[in-house]
Amino acid sequence: MSVTSYKSKKRTCAMSLRERFFGGEKNTVPQDVNKSAPETTINFIPTVIALVDYENIAREAAADGKIVDFAGLAELCRSCGKVAASFLFVPDHMTQDRWVREAYDQGFFVVSSPSRASLTVSVKQADTADTNMISIGRRFSDIIDGVVIVSNDRDFLTLVNDFKDKGKKIVLIHGAKVSPALREVVKLRFPVPVRNR
């Protein structure tokens, strides 16, 4: 390999993900920066993270006598781009659920979200899964090209808007009871893969 082609290859690889993604799904770069050569098309695969609200989707699936198909969910996330990380947010009272182990085996990082006392008079406990999902999503928002949100919950509208403001891709994987506001804002949507118990 000549020094010139090595420099060109190095320059192409050194381009940031944002630079390559900015032009759309395909971007062109010269084959050799020192010559006026024909351009080569690069097929760009966006880097995404997956944020899964376990209790939200598992509860809906259970109401229909089904369970979340984590193998199918992992495959669906991979079809949205190169998955840098997949996070499964689980309330601490559900961490021993046998389906959580299945998700872990499919490559999801399990994040236990402790409960906190609700501010209302009731004895209901509110978990911190949504807060943790939003926090982690925001931490990644500058270094990835998009996010896959797996939830029905309208609490993620702020995160969706943060990603939209930065020009990032957003995919929503949801159940039948998805928030109408979330459905309206996110245009690329898929149903949660479920299977029989």
Domain CATH number, residue 56: 3.40.50.1010
Same domain, 178 and 136: yes
For residue 33, what pLDDT is reported? Answer: 46
Q: What total of structural domains would you count in the chain?
A: 2
For residue 40, what pLDDT is reported? Answer: 57
Same domain, 102 and 169: yes
Same domain, 116 and 97: yes
For residue 116, what pLDDT is reported? Answer: 63
Contact of 171 with 56, CB cutoff 8 Å: no
Same domain, 61 and 38: no
Please name every residue paired with 112 in a beta bridge, in sequence order, or none if there are none. Answer: 90
Same domain, 34 and 88: no
Same domain, 10 and 85: no
Same domain, 54 and 108: yes
In Å, how far from its chain's centre is CA 57?
15
The whole-model pTM stands at 0.74
Closest CA relative to residue 160, chosen from 152, 169, 89: 169
The gap between the terminal CA atoms of the chain, to the nearest Å, is 56
Range of the domain at 17: 3-43
For residue 4, what pLDDT is reported? Answer: 45
Same domain, 119 and 140: yes
- The tens place of each residue's pLDDT in the chain, 197 residues long, gives 444 443 344 334 334 333 433 344 444 444 454 555 555 566 678 999 999 999 889 999 999 999 999 999 999 999 999 999 999 998 887 777 788 889 999 999 999 888 765 444 444 455 688 889 999 999 999 999 999 999 999 999 999 999 999 999 999 999 999 999 999 999 999 999 999 98
Q: What is the spatial distance between Cα 159 and Cα 197, in angstroms, rounded to a whole number?
A: 32
